[in-house]
Amino acid sequence: MTTRLHASDIVGEADPRLYGGFVEHLGRHIYDGIHEPAHPSADEEGFRTDVIALVQELGVTTIRYPGGNFVSGYRWEDGIGPRESRPRRLDLAWRSTETNQVGLHEFSSWLEKVGGELMLAVNLGTRDVAEALDLLEYANVAADTAWTRERAANGRATPFDVRMWCLGNEMDGPWQLGHRDAEDYGKLASRAAKAMRMLDPTIELVACGSSGRDMPTFGAWEREVLRHTFDDVDFISCHAYYQERNGQAQEFLVSAVDTDLFVREVVAAADEVAMERGSDKRIMLSFDEWNVWYQFADDGTKAGDLVPDGWPVAPRLLEDQYNVMDAVVVGDLLITLLQHADRVRSASLAQLVNVIAPIMTEPGGPAWRQTTFYPFSLTSRLGRGTVRALAIDGAPRVRSARFGDVSAVNAVATTDDAGTSVFLVNRSLSDAADLSIDLHALGAASAAVVEAWIVTDTDHRAANTLADPERVAPQALVVAREGDLLRVALPPVSWAVVRVR
Ligand code: AHR
């Protein structure tokens, strides 16, 4: 049976910030990841140029920094000034030693090389409004002040001009340094936001939403936080991580259904607060941590609980190896974020290098692309412009213990000046799907296929490794043409994109 895809409503414009990344001082992300002065490819600042090239190829836009759980104990001033006098500090979140050899100046310089835009998080865990203001003044102000003189003395006369600011990180999580209840956090976030806007009214602010849809306070947290911050912020954050648990691969493959519900529920909570206030303002969503993360071992312990003894520098932490199934889930999550492009205006794949990352490195050795690299890089390159929902008729169904009867096929389309892209996923573990795509309904009747890629493998657990870094890569997808219809066969566990012009 053929699944028919045809365009339905326009969702909105895909904000380029949907293709953001996230870099945290965690494990070997910064040190021995992006920064490795002794590496043969290192530039004059110690940054690996092979990693820079891969990050550029990945196509990340905004990058959230410096955490994550790390930011809730971070003193940003430790990372400025002469490197030799920067303090070594204990990072309580990841039980590591932070050397502070990379701070705001170095990271921003790396980002300029990569071509990304900085998104900063302030510490509202162990710190307060005053320190957030200091950082904002140091980063964004042009006037002659003590902080801006110090910035200039540290080599940066002009402001960094950071647009997006996160008001803390996962403050709903009991694991977070300075964890608060929603009322406490909402009041603090409101005070911080008002003060920060007095200093720089042009910034965009993100309040912490829930660190997962499964948090016991989910929903109530969003409503309470927004009741305090509604007038002060532009975004509320969402964080979601998925993994295969207890060998239930089919359940894992439909993870994007959870993301879809998550977005709808946060939008409903935000709009409920708007309604209470009689406001037409719409709070946008910053999905600023999302990915596959093998966070829970089979015995239920969390990866974060397994941090090493002895406060090591840059230990190997959260170095997940991703397989084909993981790549298909990542591709489906991207499709889902695009389907909500009207409200999800910012998102950050968590994370970027070595730590639950699409890019891996070995000290002194190579850097390579994980399987999850490919759906991200292809969607970032081809998924721009106007987003259209696609009606999906006659799709095979899969059974989910959590979500019931679910379509095996998910899809979305984007159109920019140069052409139209259709993103497709078959999340069935066992069955192929034959698709027909109606180009006429997409306004692309006379268009020709210019490229088409599929990420799949008969071995769903195939992965790229140090020993075999190119085991999995996108393959050319065969697309047949019948008038205004494109015909595509998607094997089980596959993600694909078709580009027409
Ligand atoms: O991305 C890893 C961790 O996940 C982040 O530090 C935290 O914000 C989240 O719990």
Select from 124, 245, 128, 246 the least CA-distant residue to 173.
124
Q: Given 357, 384, 411, which residue is the final one in a domain?
A: 384
Where is the domain boundary, 340, 365, 384?
384
- For residues 379 and 402, membership in a common domain is answered with no
Ligand 1 atom closest to Cα of 241?
4
Q: pLDDT tens digits, residue range 288-300? A: 999 999 998 877 7
- Cα–ligand 1 centroid distance for 407 (angstroms): 30
Query: Is residue 4 packed enough to be buried (19+ CB in 10 Å), middle (13-18) or exposed (0-12)?
Result: middle
Residues 423 and 377 in one domain: no
**Per residue in 201-234, is it b (16+ CB within 10 Å) or e — as a string?**
eebbbbbbbbbbbebeebbebbbbbbbbbbebbb
Q: Give the pLDDT score at 441.
A: 86
Give, using CA atoms, the residue closest to atom 2 of ligand 1.
68
Angle between helices 220-229 and 255-276 (to 10 degrees): 40
- Helices (DSSP H) in 277-393: which residue ranges? 324-339, 373-382
Are 266 and 134 within one domain? Answer: yes
Each residue of 30-86: pLDDT tens digit?
999 999 999 999 999 999 999 999 999 999 999 999 999 999 999 999 999 999 999
Indicate if 365 and 432 belong to the same structural domain: no
- Residue 105: give the domain boundaries: 16-384
C-alpha distances in angstroms, 5 versus 255, 393, 394, 423? 21, 6, 9, 11
User: Against a cut of 0.95, is the pTM above it?
Assistant: yes
**Same domain? 396 vs 365:** no
For residues 65 and 160, membership in a common domain is answered with yes
Q: Residue 484 pLDDT > 80, yes or no?
A: yes
Last residue of a domain, one of 358, 384, 410: 384
Q: Give the pLDDT confidence score for residue 308 in this predicted structure.
A: 79
Each residue's pLDDT tens digit, 131-158:
999 999 999 999 999 999 999 999 999 9
Among protein residues, the one whose CA lies closest to atom 6 of ligand 1? 68
Pull the structure tokens for residue 424: 């497709």
Q: Quote the crossing angle between the two packed helices 49-58 and 373-382, to the nearest 10°.
A: 60
**CATH code, domain carrying 359:** 3.20.20.80
The pLDDT of 251-280, averaged and rounded, is 98
Clarify whether residues 58 and 164 are in a common domain.
Answer: yes
Q: Is 228 found in the same domain as 97?
A: yes
| Residues with a known catalytic role | 170, 289
**pLDDT score at 326:** 98
Q: End-to-end distance of the chain based on CA atoms, in angstroms?
A: 28
Together in a domain, 94 and 196: yes
Domain tally for the chain? 2
93 Cα–ligand 1 center, Å: 9
Q: Which of 281, 167, 264 is nearest to 225 (CA)?
A: 167
Residues 270 and 332 in one domain: yes
Return the CATH number at 489: 2.60.40.1180
Q: Give the sheet arrangement for strand 494-500, strand by strand.
A: 475-476, 449-455, 494-500, 419-426, 409-416, 385-393, 2-14, 433-438, 485-490, 480-482
| Cα-Cα-Cα-Cα dihedral sign, residues 338, 342, 346, 347 | negative
My answer on whether 122 and 165 are in the same domain is: yes
Shared domain for 477 and 399, answered yes or no, is yes
Q: Distances from the Cα of 95 to the Cαs of 31, 177, 239, 311, 317, in angstroms?
A: 15, 12, 22, 5, 11
